[in-house]
Amino acid sequence: MSNAYLSRIGHDGPVAADLRTLEALTYAHATTIPFENLDPFSGVPVDLDTLREKLVHRHRGGYCFEHNRLLKSALDEIGFTTTGLQARVVWGGSDDDVTPRAHKLLHVDVAGAPYVTDVGFGAMTLTAPLRVEPDVEQETPHGVFRLLHAESPLGAWRQQVRLRGEWRTTYRFDLTPAFPVDDEAPNWFLSTSPKSHFVRGLTAARPTRDGQRLALAGRSFTAYASDGTPDRREIDTLAELRTVLTDDFLIELPAGIDDTLKRLF
């Protein structure tokens, strides 16, 4: 188990292939390493072979293919049985929207019990693993989630989060294993295609250890309370944007990033 990774996420407790460790690492990772797309927005393709250097040693963040591949590596080193999965994101749309399998999450076996965990879903990133069991409300440090099951070509499982009394679907998935080679095409599209929202605009997110969720979309910065109530403000200057990225999202900004950020103004 990499001491550098544990130090990066601030975990100083014991590690073992058990539920307590899975919960601790999911929470520590999600609240420490931010979701961000500075590389695609800057025209730099995401290299999955160097994600440990980027996320651990350079104190950067990333998106789902980076976050969940890094967490999978750590869990595998501990002795968990893990499998990569891919999902169709429908957040902000209809449950039956036909979207590509362009999101990565993890299936984790814990003493024969199946769980999913996902530290790379932006503003709705999980901070606790979910038991793969249908129609059960599952409390996490950042909201109540559930998984619904019904056979569908779009994915038999739906993940939902309850926001201000309403259940909203984040994505659809099935339990078919996705191997590292399966990540390459969607990762390349997301980080290089002019059609990708990660290339077209700036985004960042991080759940905090006081129960908030922070989200940045362009120059719009929102802090969501534990019940989902938003506190939103517009960022007016480059200096303020840099401060938000470093202080709120905990990103060590790369050299030369100001030229990219100025495009937002």
d(CA 72, CA 188) in angstroms, rounded, equals 20
The residue among 180, 184, 131, 178 whose CA lies nearest residue 159 is 131
pLDDT-derived band of residue 228, with 50, 70 and 90 as boundaries? confident
> Active site includes 227?
no
What's the rounded mean pLDDT across residues 248-265?
Answer: 96
Asked whether residue 50 carries a pLDDT value surpassing 60, the answer given is yes
What's the whole-number average pLDDT of the chain? Answer: 96
> Active site includes 236?
no
Asked whether residue 213 carries a pLDDT value surpassing 60, the answer given is yes
What's the rounded mean pLDDT across residues 48-68?
Answer: 97
Return all residues near 185 (Cβ < 8 A) that are at least 6 apart: none
Catalytic position from the list 11, 29, 67, 103: 103
What's residue 16's pLDDT?
A: 96
Domain range 3-264, CATH class: alpha beta
Catalytic position from the list 11, 29, 39, 64: 64
Model pTM score: 0.96
What's the rounded mean pLDDT across residues 242-249?
Answer: 98
Strands of 230-234's sheet in order across = 35-36, 203-207, 213-217, 220-224, 230-234
Name the maximum alpha-carbon separation found in the chain. 52
Asked whether residue 1 carries a pLDDT value surpassing 70, the answer given is no
- Among residues of the chain, what percentage have pLDDT more than 70? 100
- Over the stretch 138-195, which tens digit does the pLDDT of each residue have? 999 999 999 999 999 999 999 999 998 899 999 999 999 999 999 999 999 999 999 9
> Active site includes 64?
yes
What's residue 227's pLDDT?
A: 79
Catalytic position from the list 67, 107, 118, 183: 118
d(CA 45, CA 248) in angstroms, rounded, equals 25
What's residue 2's pLDDT?
A: 79
